[in-house]
Structure 1
Amino acid sequence: MIKKFFGTAIISLVTLQFVYAQDSTKSLTISGSVDGYYRYNFSNAAGNSNNKTSFTNSQSSFALGMATIKADATALSGKVTATADLGFGTRAEEFSYYESATKSTLAMVKQLFVTYALSKNVKLTAGKFATHVGYEVMDAPLNRNYSMSYMFTNGPFSHTGVKMDVTAGPVGFMVGVANFIDQTTSTTNTKTLIAQFSGGSKNGKLKAYLNYAGFFGAENASNPLSLKSLSQLDLVVNATVTDKFGIGFNATTQSRQQVAGSLLPSGSWQGYALYLNLDPTPAIGLTLRSELISDSKIVYPSAFGAKSIFANTLSLNYKVGPFILIPELRFESAQSEIYTKSDGTGAKSTATALLAAVYKF
């Protein structure tokens, strides 16, 4: 089945090379964004920012987030599309952490893929693309909170491989095969299976996505995570209640099976996040994100280090044209002392203030 899947994708892309030169409907769109922020953790611990999620690992400092530039091309009246999405800065480096570790220029490549429509409802995509798992995404202009959730940080970031999308009205299905999670250039034979089922109401006010990503059957620690298998099942729901109020919900469970002889237990951790979005005026938006992480067996100590974490983030979005100013307050608490006080001792809670600036063009 997998051979047939890859074979269809290769034939489609080869066919494209022959017909592209005859096309007169080509188009190209350039877009991008820049963002930066100032973050202050009130514990003010020396050498410890008390940050355990992605992209905001600084303390009492102005910091650059990312400059990104994206080119979207279409051909054959939209039958073929291609995207080159590049990022520069610490945000991009953390997103492509495998490539950053080897100082590869591929760390700048957030996404790079080609899509070919086999029909109106079926399309094939090959290349590197951002993950479908989770509520939040990498690019700052697309999130209402600037700091990231624990679920975003500890789920997959991207996939490099081939996938097929099938749509029928409000219902959609995606399945694909990719390199090992987050690897642009694979260092292992272990492959990732990805899938998504989506649906929603006819008026578009309710949308739901059931997502999957994982691998299985790895032996002798033959992958960078030294796991025999990893499976993540993820649910995202968006509901528009009124034209000024919306609700988002994300629930995820990640099962981790250790290889024989591992000192860590096999098991799963769960995460739940509720997003309350209020837009009293076109220029002002408020978002409260409440997130609960549960890891009762401590199956992922390097990520959490506690059996439970509860984090609340309140963000204001002040919009002036393409510019967004985001003041943010974040308070989080854990079942054990995973944070650090100013005197160097442990703490079960911490608070952070952040001010971010985002411009999209």
Structure 2
Amino acid sequence: MAIAIISTLSFSVSAQEEETTSKFSLSGSVDAYYRTTFKDAGEADTATFTSFANQTGFALGMANLVGTYDMGDTGVVVDLVFGPRGTEATFENDVLNGIINQAYVYWNVSEGTTLTMGRFNTFLGYEVIAPQANFNYSVSYLFSNGPFSHLGIKADFALSDDVSLMLAVMNPWDTNDISDSGEYSLGGQLGFYDQFLNLYYDSGKSGGLGFEIDYTGGFDVTEDFFFGINAAYNDNSETGTGFYGAAIYPQLTTSDSFAIGLRGEYMTFTDDALEDDSPVLGLTLTGSFTKENLIIKPEVRLDTWGNDLEPYADGDGGFTSNQSSFLIAAIYSF
């Protein structure tokens, strides 16, 4: 499996004649799911404190349309999202109720240098917004607590076939419309043989993220077995909050149409105002069945909090530290 985070988008090649390729291409996806928490406690115990896929019963993920116009050296990408997943990812903080996930222009200055300006999905973390690009359908705590997108300018440098560098100047964390604070953030990514070290910094003011360092990588243990890794540390000196944690993603492909994978994640939230930290363990087992462009993902998830934290209703009028849930998702991409 390819590392999801190193590629913000994957564009399908448009229909083409034998010797002529259209400058415009269109791709996208639609996803929906059914989820249950095995409890009868109403709405109180539905959320996993991660983003997306938190509704019980049948629910819509999102519809996604990505248009690309590529002239070779220059081009533009517009990525539109419709539905709960898209609305949450964009924070509804732009025109038309937050349907613009990405919108940027790019210039291939040279064979190894590309400049990009506009809104683009984050370079931090292992997972992404588009569900077809993730192995697990529900998302991790690490992904949910980092930025989803940035608005600014970045420069990507291919230093060699296996080494890359990205530098960026952007609005603060998830400030996708304007930066009314007058502050900006800095970002960087060093890629080395498909392992990526990511850095992000803003002052932490006006809801900023502060400082974050993030490692994303993985290894093909065998032809059919991939082992992914994500680890991150965040500190916001302005708010006195932060987090640190790691996740592993072992994934086994059993046939051309089926694979199974586990996400094992341990994350701790820190807060100077609290006496104890807030640790959580998330275990997610996902199957992935593919038929043409359709992906069916059955998934079992268990979330357990430590330090006597009991954030979930237990179905008997009390509270508990753990929650188990099952979902089955259908994703169609084109």
Structure 1: stretches of 5+ with no match in the other structure: 1-23, 201-206, 260-265
Per-residue displacement from partner, 1:193-244 (whole Å, max 9, x unpaired)?
Answer: 11101010xxxxxx1000112202x6xx5x1x2x6x7011000012112221
Aligned-pair CA distance for 1:153? 0.5
Aligned-pair CA distance for 1:99? 1.0
Structure 2 equivalent of residue 208 of structure 1: 195
Structure 2: stretches of 5+ with no match in the other structure: 1-19
1:117 aligns with 2:111: no
1:334 aligns with 2:321: no
Using the size of structure 1 for normalisation, the TM-score is: 0.82
C-alpha separation between the residues in 1 aligned to 2:97 and 2:116? 19
CA contact (8 A) 1:230 1:254 kept: yes
Letter paired with 2:64: T
Aligned-pair CA distance for 1:178? 0.9
Structure 2 equivalent of residue 279 of structure 1: 253
1:254 aligns with 2:234: yes
Structure 1 equivalent of residue 223 of structure 2: 243
- Counterparts of 1:301-320 in structure 2 under 5 Å? 307-320=278-291
CA contact (8 A) 2:87 2:97 kept: no
1:348 aligns with 2:321: yes
Letter paired with 1:210: L
1:322 aligns with 2:283: no
Which structure would you say has the larger Rg?
1
C-alpha separation between the residues in 2 aligned to 1:175 and 1:106? 30
Structure 1 equivalent of residue 26 of structure 2: 30
CA contact (8 A) 1:256 1:299 kept: no
- Counterparts of 1:177-256 in structure 2 under 5 Å? 177-186=169-178, 187-200=180-193, 207-216=194-203, 221=205, 223=206, 225=207, 230-256=210-236
Runs of 4+ in 1 over 3 A off after TM superposition: 297-301
CA contact (8 A) 1:45 1:340 kept: yes
C-alpha separation between the residues in 1 aligned to 2:123 and 2:86? 18
CA contact (8 A) 2:245 2:266 kept: yes
The answer to which structure has the higher helix fraction is 1
Letter paired with 2:55: S
C-alpha separation between the residues in 2 aligned to 1:141 and 1:96? 18
Q: CA 1:299 to 1:38, structure 2 compared with 1: closer, same or farther past 3 Å? A: farther
CA contact (8 A) 1:194 1:214 kept: yes
CA contact (8 A) 2:115 2:156 kept: yes
1:135 aligns with 2:126: yes
- Quote the sequence identity (%): 30
CA contact (8 A) 2:102 2:120 kept: yes
Structure 2 equivalent of residue 70 of structure 1: 66
Per-residue displacement from partner, 1:155-198 (whole Å, max 9, x unpaired)?
Answer: 01000110111112211111111112112212322211111010
1:175 to 167, 171, 186: 167
CA contact (8 A) 2:219 2:227 kept: yes
C-alpha separation between the residues in 2 aligned to 1:319 and 1:26? 28
Q: CA 1:235 to 1:300, structure 2 compared with 1: closer, same or farther past 3 Å? A: farther
Aligned-pair CA distance for 1:307? 1.9
